[in-house]
């Protein structure tokens, strides 16, 4: 990349249980030029989360103020909490030539698509609905009610896959990370949403649920 070249905006969305977090870490370790955008959220930190690393944890008043001042490039309510991406941060890094990775939900991705048509949007799918459920159940801290709610949410999120430029099926971490790296580097042809084989594979995953 030359010094005057602008970075790209990469948007990654996935239902919970698709293995997105591990995949993002793997991608970031492979792509040193790619920076992660730390979102603002009104959700409370989980046990292993650090303010300023995983999220900026803020109160609802602060979040509303930021929103009213137009500080967010996108924002959305997910599972009763608010999440938003700082426009200033994203723009400053893109201007400096870095590509920025946004790990956000499909509602945020829709807003980005409107405001930044040049963004690359990627949807991560689990290899099957059974695997998705298994992964959701793997988090032993959650109650059955929470699991069922997350499962319903995940199935409804997956209905948005076709709105994205690319789809990556997270069956194998190494392969999925390599596909993501290729997309980030402008070589993601096989993962384009309109590729017929990919479309049928995704439809199989979705139908497999019934
Ligand atoms: P979690 O609370 O489990 O970290 O994230 C819950 C959901 O919020 C995930 O789908 C995640 O992608 C989404 N999310 C995280 N940050 C943002 C953000 O800045 N904007 C939007 N729209 N969604 C976000």
Condensed to tens digits (0 to 9), the pLDDT of residues 11-60 reads: 999 998 888 889 999 999 999 989 999 999 999 998 889 999 999 999 99
Nearest to 22 by CA among 179, 173, 154: 173
DSSP assignment letter at 171: S
Ligand 1 centroid–CA 11 distance in Å is 12
Calpha distance 27→44 (Å, rounded)? 26
Q: Which residues pair with 95 in a beta bridge?
A: none
78 lines ligand 1 (CB under 6 A): yes
CA distance 134 to 207: 17
C-alpha of residue 39 to centroid of ligand 1, in Å: 8
CA of 20 to the centre of ligand 1 (A): 11
E strands, 6-119, in order = 9-13, 34-36, 40-41, 56-57, 72-78, 81-86, 99-103
Q: Is the CB of 110 under 6 A from ligand 1?
A: no
pLDDT at 150: 87
37 Cβ closer than 6 Å to some ligand 1 atom: no
Q: What is the pLDDT of residues 127-148, one digit of tens each?
A: 999 999 998 888 667 788 888 8
The β-bridge relationship of strands 34-36 and 99-103 is: parallel
Nearest CA to ligand 1 atom 23: 104
- Work out the angle between the directed axes of helices 20-30 and 173-184 (0-180°, nearest 10): 60
For residue 43 and ligand 1, the question of a CB distance below 6 A is answered with yes
User: What is the pTM for the complete model shown?
Assistant: 0.94
């Amino acid at each position: 990349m030359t010094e005057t070249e602008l970075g790209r905006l990469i948007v990654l969305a996935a239902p919970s249980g698709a293995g997105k977090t591990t995949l993002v870490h793997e991608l970031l370790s492979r792509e040193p030029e790619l920076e992660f955008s730390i979102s603002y959220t009104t959700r409370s930190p989980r046990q292993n989360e650090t303010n300023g690393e995983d999220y900026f944890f803020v109160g609802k008043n602060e979040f509303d103020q930021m929103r009213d001042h137009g500080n967010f490039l996108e924002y959305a309510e997910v599972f009763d909490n608010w999440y938003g991406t700082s426009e200033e941060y994203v723009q400053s890094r893109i201007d400096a030539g870095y590509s920025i990775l946004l790990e956000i939900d499909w509602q945020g991705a829709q807003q980005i698509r409107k405001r930044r048509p040049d963004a690359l949007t990627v949807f991560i799918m689990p290899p099957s609905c059974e695997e998705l459920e298994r992964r959701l159940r793997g988090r032993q801290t959650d109650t059955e009610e929470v699991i069922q709610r997350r499962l319903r949410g995940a199935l409804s999120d997956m209905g948005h896959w076709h709105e994205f430029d690319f789809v990556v099926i997270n069956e194998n971490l190494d392969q999925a990370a390599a596909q993501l790296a290729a997309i980030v580097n402008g070589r993601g042809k096989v993962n384009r949403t309109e590729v017929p084989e990919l479309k049928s594979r995704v439809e199989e995953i979705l139908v497999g649920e019934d």
